[in-house]
Amino acid sequence: MDYKISEGLASLKPSIIREILKETGGSSTIPFAAGNPAPDAFPVDDVKEIIGELFENNPILALQYGVTDGYAPLVAELEKLCRERYNVMTPDDGVIVTSGAQQVMSLLSHALLNHGDTVICEEPAFIGALNCFRSFGAKLVGVPLEADGMNIEALEKALENNPGAKFIYTIPNFQNPAGSTTCFEKRKAIYNLAKKFGVVILEDNPYGETRVSGEDIPAIKTMDDSGIVVYSGSFSKIVAPGIRVGFVCANKALLAKMTVVKQTQDVHTPIMSQYIVYKWLHDYDYEAHIAKIKSIYRRKLNLMCDLIDEELGDYVEYVRPEGGLFVWCKLADKFDMLTFVKKASAAGVAIVPGNAFLCDEAASSRYVRLNFSTPSDEGIVKGVKILGEVARNY
Amino acid sequence: MDYKISEGLASLKPSIIREILKETGGSSTIPFAAGNPAPDAFPVDDVKEIIGELFENNPILALQYGVTDGYAPLVAELEKLCRERYNVMTPDDGVIVTSGAQQVMSLLSHALLNHGDTVICEEPAFIGALNCFRSFGAKLVGVPLEADGMNIEALEKALENNPGAKFIYTIPNFQNPAGSTTCFEKRKAIYNLAKKFGVVILEDNPYGETRVSGEDIPAIKTMDDSGIVVYSGSFSKIVAPGIRVGFVCANKALLAKMTVVKQTQDVHTPIMSQYIVYKWLHDYDYEAHIAKIKSIYRRKLNLMCDLIDEELGDYVEYVRPEGGLFVWCKLADKFDMLTFVKKASAAGVAIVPGNAFLCDEAASSRYVRLNFSTPSDEGIVKGVKILGEVARNY
């Protein structure tokens, strides 16, 4: 049968990263292309204990249908977190549990986007977000991302040139792929522009708790007095990604629409997953675990960056990130980026070509994304050395 | 802020059932409005054992990211099930794991529907499906459902009148809400018409394993030689709904598009949930468990129907279903349906007004839906007696 695919999906391809991971899935390949959290950052014993207790005392809770908004005790914990720790919750706001932060993008897109509507994105931006927006037929308008956040003049111009743009998508902390952190002044400027133009901001903060240097900067949502900002969080890096738990804090009216969409997508997030996060937030030592995560990521980030300085210092430029999972390297002029990626792959190191993160994937890029959370420390050492050899022999 | 909601969502309301369940959520209300499987049908000890073993031997598998298509050993088990038990898998077909069967509707809708496209539905139909299709701006065209399936003449007329209709949505076994089963002749006729008009069929089979009387009828997908039928299954009634595991068996080309959509929705279904179903299918006694489920539902279905005959025989007409979770009752002419529902609610029994299941919710209906899986046996007895009183005192 000749399927008549929808306009949003007809030209949408699977994530390049996913394809790279398939091709380079051999066990000997060093996985700098992935974005998996470090397994030793998972609170395995805590989760084991929580799951054991749940099935011992309340198996029917774990197995029966739940409500779409989320398991009520978890929603209460998340509201407390948003109020007390992140300061992102106003009296007009609510929280719902989502199946990862990815689902927040999907719910918001479905609630706001008509085919052809504009979404303003940092450029480069997270490919899972770009593909989500594309799937709704969005026109993606990129705003160049600098070391301290979006170029504000370019953002203003994008808003002027695209009246009726539906939302601005940003990862202010340790952006994927660029590793950059948006400074406080730019957060204010982004908020003020969004308010002036009447455009929603999707503030995606999956990496906020992985800061390994510098000082925390208040979320854009902390400035929100108009219900403009949709704040999205994830437990993929704090607890574990395989349980698929995220959340969204937003104005209740908008949240009601997103909840209706969630009902049509997956009815609710699995109760076991929600219970793990609820119990962990309620009974376990959040600060101690975050400190542990930070120490793991600090070690791995510095290991990779020190080695890049040593092995690739003549061949790449980059800004050492203050957190997150990625190092975004600009190749020197003598390299053709895609050729470099292929040579790296042939030498046993998988890295992601920078064009994967552009609004127009066909545009050219001088960048590659390196991940330091998935490989072992030995893998980091070996992989960067191989990249150094590839560069020297280029 | 004045949110500019998308065309698909602007007029979409939360499920009436969900609102009824909120209003009547008091612990004393008898829940004939819900659709929860009977908790004593859950294989609690099996799941406990599986989860314990998983966290003992392979916690990182449970917690790390997985691939979008599904945990490979589960996909293999599902392919085997589709091939050997359901006979619905051709060499051109594949299977992916979904977050409940609800997600299949969402993935297929996103892959096929442009705003304004037609979806042909049985009328009445499952509200979660109707809302999903509405959220993509679909035009819903209802085909009257009879005791043995859709009226085939009306289906043919609907296909003629709506050229380019994207798919036909059907639950051939123990339909929700009508409880009806589509006979083999009508399954053939539906398939032939879909093939003639080049329209996909979404064959949703969440209740297939709950047959309590009569003989199994081959799925429409067993006739599929052209990749027309998308077959959707669920473990909500076989294992448990809270884990949110369903699957879809369809032509690989279409499945590839649905997989891209899933990637943008929730990346993958939680690994713990997938592992439970994998291990349960692989190591436990499927047939024995299905026999147990059937005996529970047979008892509850017959208890409710016998009591309806006794208490409501003069006031309602219905066809005793051969499986599923619902009894679909047509009220006698003297009743105003919505008034009856309100009186029942005031008397402590929650039931669902039939118009919730119509393509146009504003249309009138003489029907109400009663669920027998959620209430206890005592609840069934008490609830139907109360409904009898409400009818007598009307």
Distance CA A41, CA B73 (A): 26
Distance from CA of B308 to the nearest CA of A (A): 27
Express each pLDDT in B229-284 by its tens digit: 999 999 999 999 999 999 999 999 999 999 999 999 999 999 999 999 999 999 99
Angle in degrees, CA A117, B269, B326, rounded to 5: 95
Please state the rounded mean pLDDT for residues B208-227.
Answer: 97
Q: Check whether residue A178 and residue A112 sit in a common domain.
A: yes
Dihedral of the alpha carbons of A304, A310, A313, A315, in degrees to the nearest 10: -80
Question: In this complex, is the C-beta atom of A269 within 8 Å of any C-beta atom belonging to chain B?
Answer: yes
Omega cis (within 30) before B124: yes
Q: Is the pTM of this model over 0.90?
A: yes
Boundary (domain end) residue, out of B248, B264, B283: B283
Two tokens at A84? 């007390």
C-alpha span between A114 and A107 (Å, rounded): 13
Mind listing the pLDDT tens digit for each residue in A82-130? 999 999 999 999 999 999 999 999 999 999 999 999 999 999 999 999 9
Residues in B closer than 8 angstroms to A267, CB to CB, are: 100, 102, 128, 241, 244
Residues A69 and A185 in one domain: yes
Residue B334 three-state SS? coil
Q: For chains A and B, what is the number of CB pairs under 8 angstroms?
A: 264
For residue B14, list its beta bridge partners.
Answer: none
User: A141 to each of A118, A160, A205, how far by Cα in Å?
Assistant: 7, 12, 21
Contact indicator for B141, B158 with CB cutoff of 8 Å:
yes
How far apart CA A336 and CA B163 sit, in angstroms, is 50
**A270 and A190 within one domain:** yes
> Distance, in angstroms, between B331 CA and closest chain A CA?
29
Counting other chains too, the contacts that B43-48 makes at CB distance below 8 Å and 24 or more residues apart are B43/B239, B43/B240, B43/B280, B43/B284, B43/B289, B44/A55, B44/A59, B44/A60, B44/A63, B46/B280, B46/B284, B46/B289, B47/A55, B47/A59, B47/A62, B47/A63, B47/B239, B47/B240, B47/B276, B47/B280, B48/A55, B48/A56, B48/A59
Note whether A246 and A298 are same-domain residues. no
User: Which percentage of chain B shows pLDDT scores above 70?
Assistant: 97
Asked whether residue B2 is assigned to any structural domain, the reply reads: no
Q: Is residue B1 in some structural domain?
A: no
Non-local (6+) Cβ contacts of A244 within 8 A are: A99, A100, A236, A269, A270, A273, B266, B267, B268, B269, B270
Residues facing A204 on adjacent strands: A232
Across the interface, of B35, B228, B243, the residue whose CB is closest to A272 is: B243
CATH number of B313's domain = 3.90.1150.10
Nearest to B228 among A1, A66, A266 (CB): A1
CA distance B221 to chain A (A): 14
- Would you mind telling me the total number of residues written for chain B in this entry? 394
Q: How many domains does chain B have?
A: 2
| Tally of CA atoms within 13 A in the half-sphere of A42 that contains its CB | 24
A243 touching chain B per CB within 8 A: yes
Is pLDDT of A11 > 90?
A: no
Which residues in chain B are closer than 8 Å to A198, comparing Cβ atoms?
Answer: 1-2
Q: Is residue A77 part of a domain?
A: yes
Residue B236 lies in a domain: yes
Chain A contact set for B257 (CB, 8 A):
3, 5, 9, 12
Q: What is the pLDDT at residue B182?
A: 98
CB B272 within 8 A of CB A110: no
Q: Map A297-334 to HEC letters.
A: HHHHHHHHHHHHHHHHCCCEECCCCCCCCEEEEEECCC
Residues A261-266, mean pLDDT to the nearest whole number:
97
Q: Do B293 and B209 contact (CB within 8 A), yes or no?
A: yes
Same domain, A222 and A369: no
Do residues B232 and B205 lie in contact, with contact meaning Cβ atoms separated by under 8 Å?
A: yes
Q: How far is B132 from chain A (nearest CA, A)?
A: 5
Within a domain: A1: no
Q: Which of A181, A173, A227, A223 is nearest to A200 (CA)?
A: A227
CA A163/CA B91 separation, integer angstroms: 49
> What integer pLDDT is reported at residue A25 of this predicted model?
57
Q: What is the pLDDT of residues B352-363, one digit of tens each?
A: 999 999 999 889
Q: Which of B36, B244, B251 to mutate to test the interface with A (most CBs of A within 10 A)?
A: B244
Q: Cβ–Cβ of A39/B60 closer than 8 Å? A: yes
> Is the model's pLDDT at A245 over the cut of 90?
yes
For residue B1, what pLDDT band results from cuts at 50, 70 and 90? confident
The dihedral through the CA atoms of A237, A240, A242, A244 has a sign that is negative
- ipTM for the whole complex: 0.96
Whether residues A231 and A242 fall in one domain: yes
Of B64, B100, B264, the CB nearest to A131: B264
Spatial separation of the C-alpha atoms in residues B255 and B268, rounded to whole Å: 15
What's the CATH number where A69 sits?
3.40.640.10
Task: Average the pLDDT over A362-370 and give the result.
Answer: 95
- Verify that B50 and B180 share a domain, yes or no: yes
Same structural domain, B27 and B85: no
User: In this complex, do B200 and A1 lie within 8 Å of one another by their Cβ atoms?
Assistant: yes
- Residues 134-173 on A with a CB inside 8 Å of B are 135, 164, 166
Question: Of the candidates A244, A254, A256, which has its C-beta nearest B266's C-beta?
Answer: A244
Is residue A16 over pLDDT 80?
no
- pLDDT in the model for residue A24: 60
Q: Using alpha carbons, select from A234, A232, A278 the residue that is nearest to residue A255.
A: A232
Question: For the segment A52-64, what is each residue's pLDDT rounded down to a tens digit?
Answer: 999 999 999 999 9
The Cα A332–Cα A317 span in angstroms is: 7
pLDDT tens digit sequence for B145-199: 999 999 999 999 999 999 999 999 999 999 999 999 999 999 999 999 999 999 9
Nearest CA to B64 out of A324, A370, A47 is that of A47
> Residue A2 falls within a domain, yes or no?
no
Asked if residue A218 and residue A255 are part of one domain, the reply reads yes
Chain B, residues 310-339, CB within 8 A of chain A, namely: none
Of A55, A131, A254, which has the smallest distance from its Cβ to B3's Cβ?
A: A254
Q: Which of B257, B283, B309 is the last residue of a domain?
A: B283
Residues of chain A contacting B202 with CB distance shorter than 8 Å: none
Percent of chain A topping pLDDT 90 = 93
Given an 8 Å threshold on Cβ–Cβ distance, is A264 in contact with B131?
A: yes
Co-location of B122 and B250 in the same domain: yes
Residue B201 dihedral angles phi and psi, to the nearest 5°: -110, 125
Query: Is B147 contained in some domain?
Result: yes
- Residue from B5, B36, B65 to probe the interface with A (highest A Cβ count within 10 Å): B65
Within this chain, do residues B308 and B189 fall inside the same structural domain, yes or no?
A: no
Structural domain contains residue A190:
yes
pLDDT of residue B384: 98
Give me the percent of chain B exceeding a pLDDT of 90: 93
What's the mean pLDDT in B89-99?
Answer: 97
The answer to whether A57 faces chain B, any CB pair under 8 Å, is no
The answer on B182 and B56 residing in a single domain is yes
Q: Which of A244, A268, A283 is the last residue of a domain?
A: A283
Confidence (pLDDT) at A146: 98
A261 to chain B: which residues are within 8 Å by CB? 9, 135
- The residue in chain A having the minimum alpha-carbon distance to the alpha carbon of residue B60 is A39
State the Cα–Cα distance between residues B264 and A8, nearest whole angstrom: 12
Give the structural domain span for B38: 7-43+288-392
pLDDT at position A288 over 90: yes
